Homo-oligomer: A and B are copies of this chain.
Amino acid sequence: MSMHFHSLAPVLNKLRTRSTLSNQDCEAILALPFRYTNFEKGNFLAHEGDRTDICWALLEGFIYRHKATSLGEMQILSLHLAGDLVDLQNSLLGLAHHSVQALTSVTVAWIPSSQLMALAEAHPPVARALWTDTFVNASISHEWLLNLGRRTARQRIAHLFCELALRERAIGETSHYHVPLNQDQIAATTGITVVHVNRTLQGMRADGLIRLVVNKLSILDWAALKRAGDFNSAYLHLKDSVALERQMAA
């Protein structure tokens, strides 16, 4: 089972943290036909309204999905890290209900969704793993609904940082976390205004919760940040979340 650099290994690893896959299953996943593609920061991988039938495996960098009101006000729907399968939804429905854009420069593997479906059909455990992945994403969307509907600006931002940091650590990033969002994008994620994001961040810095300089986030007090964000990691369905959180505190 070869996992040389630049393969679908990150995706496989992610699936394996939540589902059991046999060696055969793993090989079948790694044998998927795909094409590497790079996108610069800001490039679109799909536009709302596009017809599409491909999906992206994110190998490096960050991607976000978003949609907008008719007046053009953008809401960010999800953030994606290396290992994420992005846009299974659009590709299966055949129509992009939202846009997909590179948040940083990214390396992705381009996979026709028909290939994925065929794989899932031939390997039930793979199908199950993909289902699980889909539902974890749904779970995240639900938590975001709660965030937007019921939490204050500070809670929303603290919650977002907790989620990002924990997801990064789950794929092996360390101590200094990467917040690939500028303040406009934090605003578009949390449903508030740039100006207010700015002021809220200053408040959080003043209270010794975080340090945040040019996309680098230091969490000064994990327990306090969790409390500030009303954060409970269960919805992320991470393996070893207890161990991961213990690392956060260190």
Contacts and interface: CB of A to CB of B under 8 A. Distances in A.
Contacts of A137: 138
A85 to B, nearest CB: 13
A134 interface: yes
A134 B134 CA distance: 8
Given A124-B121, A145-B144, A145-B145, A69 B150 contact: yes
Given A67-B146, A230-B70, A93 B136 contact: yes
A150 B73 contact: yes
Contacts of A121: 124, 127
Chief secondary structure at chain A's binding surface = helix
B75 A149 contact: yes
A232 interface: yes
Nearest to A235: B97
Contact of A93 (B67, B135, B151, B232): B135
A75 B136 contact: no
6 contacts: A75-B145, A97-B234, A98-B142, A117-B124, A120-B127, A145-B145
Given A67-B143, A67-B146, A68-B146, 17 more contacts: A68-B150, A69-B146, A69-B150, A70-B232, A75-B146, A75-B150, A77-B146, A89-B135, A93-B135, A93-B136, A98-B142, A121-B124, A134-B134, A137-B138, A141-B145, A148-B191, A149-B188
